[in-house]
Amino acid sequence: MNEFILVAVKLLIGFFALTIIINVSGKGNLSPSSASDQVQSYVLGGIIGGVIYNNSIQILEYVGILCIWCALVLTLK
């Protein structure tokens, strides 16, 4: 798979995960309303930023990491 397409797919998956978390948690926007929201945003940015440019991490591994992150966020809510 072309490197640019792989980065684009990973980025779109990250945005999709972010949209799901915002909608499921009932926040309505990305702005932090508490300290835990701020930390969750930093962690998501670290996951997406660290993974999309790393070609050794496959898409399924990335989706697994995002699923674990989403489960943790929803459990803490």
Question: What is the length of the chain?
Answer: 77
Contact (CB, 8 A) for 47 and 69: yes
Tokens at 22, concatenated: 């915002």
Whole-structure pTM value: 0.78
Tens-place pLDDT, residues 24-61: 877 766 666 777 777 888 888 888 888 888 888 888 99
DSSP characters over 11-46: HHHHHHHHHHHHHHHT--SSS-SSHHHHHHHHHHHH
More confident residue, 8 or 37: 8
Rounded to the nearest integer, the mean pLDDT of the chain is 83
> Which pLDDT does position 51 carry in this prediction?
87
How far apart CA 59 and CA 51 sit, in angstroms, is 9
How far apart CA 10 and CA 28 sit, in angstroms, is 23
> Which pLDDT does position 1 carry in this prediction?
64
Q: What percent of the chain has pLDDT over 90?
A: 9
